[in-house]
Amino acid sequence: MITVSNVNKSFANLKVLNDISINFEAGKTNLIIGQSGSGKTVLLKSIVGLHEVDSGSIFYNDRNFTSMNLKGKKEIRKEIGMVFQGGALFDSMSVEENVLFPLDMFSDMNEKEKKDRANFCLNRVNIQNSNHLFPAEISGGMQKRVAIARAIALNPKYLFCDEPNSGLDPVTAILIDNLILEITKEYNMTTIINTHDMNSVMEIGEKIIFISKGNKAWEGSKNEIFDTDNQDLNDFVFASELYKKIKKIS
Amino acid sequence: MNLFENVGKFSRFLVLVFSKPEKGKTLFSQIIREIDKLGINSIGIVVIISLFMGAVITLQTAYNMLNPLLPDYLVGYTTRESMLLEFSSTIVGLILAGKVGSNIASEIGSMRVTEQIDALEIMGINSANHLVLPKIIAAIFINPFLYVLSVFVGITGGLLAGYLTGTVNLTDYIDGVQYAFIPYYITYSLIKTAVFAFIITAIPSFYGYYVKGGALEVGRASTKAVVNSSILILLANVILTQILLK
């Protein structure tokens, strides 16, 4: 479980996060949704420590991440897997080397065990016969799947995904969503997904947090979204004609 | 103010770079890869430039020494001293600042804007140390070899130019190359080469590492890196010459 408590964050005079408090539950897909510029990515990067928060606390189970020294944070980061918006695969490494990288750095496995683990992770995300290709030689969907394989290589307790579906076609996007959901259940991870893709929300949104102008504006499940009277959330979720019709039917 | 800010930021960056590496075995394999990328891949340009510069120095010296009172061996002597003292360390350093420096700044800058550096940090890896330390060690190790190669090729270039154009007698040229040789000059130039190697790798890495934005900013950082490392090489050249040849 990850607990965010009264977190504030500003850049110069611009307040980006305003007194945010959230509990992200283990074994569930926790989705952070909101418009572009609402503060979702800053919140996600603050939780993993890529941004220092101005005030407030972030707990990984009972461990206060914000008050930890660099060594403590490094230890927690070894329990984190992250899938970045663009995949963030290492260009100079092949698909297999990308997945092997965290194993090389942090595991005590021998070469064969590492290779087996890398192949297991690649198979888990349905990547076969592409081990020696480089990121530039594979599609965007494959890059995201390799990024997921790299993120789960060390059996993380926490999985973060920053807009994992951006730039993907709807079919591939659903595949990625379901893959994240399956992996979350399989390893009982605390998964936090940053998205503004409504299909993802409806597909895998077990817990949804709506961020609007740096504030936590709503929290609930995908089923509760249809009954909400939060105007900002309604405007955001049911912006398209398709979702307006779905709401009417429901 | 900006200068002081940058000096402070660069100092903090160096503290990160020179901290204990995550895994010694990984560092070693990275150093070998960087030696290939930064050093072995630069052999071609070093050889071509040194060959032609040695040739030009020889021809210019020969054509400017028409006075019969000046001995012919001075052409070989001048070529050797020019290559040994200045060209093979400083000019090759400046050329590598362009070639290697822009490469490093754009490589690390691209990694920053595509979140690859964030990915390293998330894994609990000191990204500055992981990416930059192997480059610095590799360059400090391999650049002295490039220096020696440059001196050898430059002197050979002078010999070939003198011989093929008939401006220099071979025996006189070889006598000149051996005349009044001071071994300390090699030590002096090797020290300069090692310092320049540090500048060529650390400054572009710094500019690449802190780049913000997209492709345009990566390009700007790359240009800044080359300009500033070239200026620093020239400045270090003056300071080291004053200290080491006093």
Cβ contacts of B121 on chain A, cutoff 8 Å: 49-50, 77
> In what helix (H) or strand (E) does residue B74 lie, and over which residues does it extend?
helix B74-82
Instruction: Using CA coordinates, name the residue in chain B closest to A72.
Output: B124
Instruction: Using CA coordinates, name the residue in chain A closest to B116.
Output: A88
Interface A-B, measured as beta-carbon pairs within 8 A, has a size of 52
Is B110 in Cβ contact with A104 (below 8 Å)? no
Give me the percent of chain B exceeding a pLDDT of 70. Answer: 100
Q: Are A133 and A125 spatial neighbours (Cβ–Cβ below 8 Å)?
A: no
Q: Which of residues 25-54 of B touch A (CB under 8 A)?
A: 26
Cβ contacts of B116 on chain A, cutoff 8 Å: 88-91
Instruction: Using CA coordinates, name the residue in chain A closest to B33.
Output: A92
Cβ contacts of A98 on chain B, cutoff 8 Å: none
Q: Are A11 and A214 spatial neighbours (Cβ–Cβ below 8 Å)?
A: no
Instruction: Using CA coordinates, name the residue in chain B closest to A105.
Output: B23
The tokens describing A144, both together, are 């995201």
Q: What is the CA radius of gyration of chain A?
A: 18
Residue B1's pLDDT band, with cuts at 50, 70 and 90, is low
Is B116 in Cβ contact with A88 (below 8 Å)? yes
Residue A157's pLDDT band, with cuts at 50, 70 and 90, is very high
Which residue blocks in chain B are alpha helix, DSSP H? 2-17, 24-34, 43-63, 74-82, 92-113, 116-122, 127-165, 170-178, 184-209, 215-245
Residue-range definition of the domain harbouring residue B57: 2-13+22-245
Q: Exposure string (b/e) for B83-112, b if CB count within 10 Å is 16 or more?
A: bbbebbbbbbbbbbbbbbbbbbbbbbbbbb
β-strands A158-162, A80-83 pairing: parallel
Task: Classify residue A185: in a domain, yes or no.
Answer: no
Higher-confidence residue of B2 and B228: namely B228
Give me the percent of chain B exceeding a pLDDT of 90. Answer: 86
Q: Which 8-state DSSP code applies to residue A156? A: -
Count of other CB atoms within 10 angstroms of residue A10 = 15
pLDDT digits (tens, 9 = 90+) for B121-162: 988 899 999 999 999 999 999 999 999 999 999 999 999 999
Q: Are A209 and A33 spatial neighbours (Cβ–Cβ below 8 Å)?
A: yes
**Is A72 part of the contact surface with chain B (CB cutoff 8 Å)?**
no
Q: Exposure string (b/e) for A166-180, b if CB count within 10 Å is 16 or more?
A: eebeeebbbbbbebb
Three-state SS annotation for B103-127: HHHHHHHHHHHCCHHHHHHHCCCCH
The Cα diameter of chain B in Å comes to 72
Q: Which of A69, A61, A153, A71 is nearest to A107 (CA)?
A: A153
Q: Considering its fold, how many domains does chain B have in total?
A: 1
Q: Is residue A226 classed as helix, strand or coil in its secondary structure?
A: coil
**Is B116 part of the contact surface with chain A (CB cutoff 8 Å)?**
yes
pLDDT at A250: 66
The tokens describing A159, both together, are 């999985």
Q: Does the pLDDT at position B67 exceed 80?
A: yes
**Is B22 part of the contact surface with chain A (CB cutoff 8 Å)?**
yes
pLDDT digits (tens, 9 = 90+) for B177-197: 999 999 999 999 999 999 999
Higher-confidence residue of B103 and B70: namely B103
Task: Classify residue A11: in a domain, yes or no.
Answer: no
Reported pTM: 0.88
The tokens describing A105, both together, are 């750095």
What distance in Å separates the CA atoms of residue A215 and residue A217, rounded to the nearest whole number?
6
Mean pLDDT computed over B195-203:
97
Residues whose CB is less than 8 angstroms from the CB of residue A238 and which lie 6 or more positions away in sequence, other chains included: A244, A247
pLDDT at B22: 82
Q: Which 8-state DSSP code applies to residue A84? A: B
Q: Which of A222, A249, A207 is nearest to A237 (CA)?
A: A222
pLDDT digits (tens, 9 = 90+) for A86-113: 889 999 999 999 999 999 988 888 999 9
User: Testing the interface with B: which of A77, A85, A150 to mutate, by most B Cβ within 10 A?
Assistant: A77
Q: Which of B115, B64, B128, B54 is nearest to B87 (CA)?
A: B54
pLDDT digits (tens, 9 = 90+) for A180-234: 898 899 889 999 999 888 888 888 888 999 998 889 988 988 888 877 888 888 8
Q: Which of A5, A101, A78, A12 is nearest to A46 (CA)?
A: A5
What distance in Å separates the CA atoms of residue A146 and residue A82, rounded to the nearest whole number?
12
Q: Is residue B76 classed as helix, strand or coil in its secondary structure?
A: helix
**Is A167 part of the contact surface with chain B (CB cutoff 8 Å)?**
no
Is B115 in Cβ contact with A84 (below 8 Å)? yes
Q: Which of residues 181-240 of B touch A (CB under 8 A)?
A: none
**Side chain identity at residue A79, one-letter code:** E
What distance in Å separates the CA atoms of residue B222 and residue B228, rounded to the nearest whole number?
10
Task: Classify residue A181: in a domain, yes or no.
Answer: no
**Is B114 part of the contact surface with chain A (CB cutoff 8 Å)?**
yes
Our CA-based measurement puts residue B204 at a distance from the nearest CA of chain A, in whole angstroms, of 19
Our CA-based measurement puts residue A105 at a distance from the nearest CA of chain B, in whole angstroms, of 7
Q: Does the pLDDT at position A118 exceed 70?
A: yes
Our CA-based measurement puts residue B146 at a distance from the nearest CA of chain A, in whole angstroms, of 25
Cβ contacts of B122 on chain A, cutoff 8 Å: 48, 50, 77, 80, 82, 160
In the numeric block, the tokens 């040695």 are attached to: B54
What distance in Å separates the CA atoms of residue B244 and residue B246, rounded to the nearest whole number?
6
Find residue A15's DSSP bridge partners. Answer: A10
> In what helix (H) or strand (E) does residue A4 lie, and over which residues does it extend?
strand A2-11
Cβ contacts of B38 on chain A, cutoff 8 Å: none
Our CA-based measurement puts residue A149 at a distance from the nearest CA of chain B, in whole angstroms, of 14
Q: Are B220 and B113 spatial neighbours (Cβ–Cβ below 8 Å)?
A: no
Identity of the residue in B26, B110, B114 whose CB atom sits nearest the CB atom of A104: B26
The tokens describing B148, both together, are 């020696």
Our CA-based measurement puts residue B132 at a distance from the nearest CA of chain A, in whole angstroms, of 15
In the numeric block, the tokens 């000019």 are attached to: B91
Q: Which of A171, A174, A149 is nearest to A159 (CA)?
A: A149
Q: Considering its fold, how many domains does chain A have in total?
A: 1
ipTM above 0.95, yes or no: no
Residue-range definition of the domain harbouring residue A128: 93-154
Secondary-structure breakdown of chain A: helix, strand, coil percentages, each rounded to the nearest 5: 40, 25, 35
Task: Classify residue A235: in a domain, yes or no.
Answer: no
Q: Are A177 and A99 spatial neighbours (Cβ–Cβ below 8 Å)?
A: no
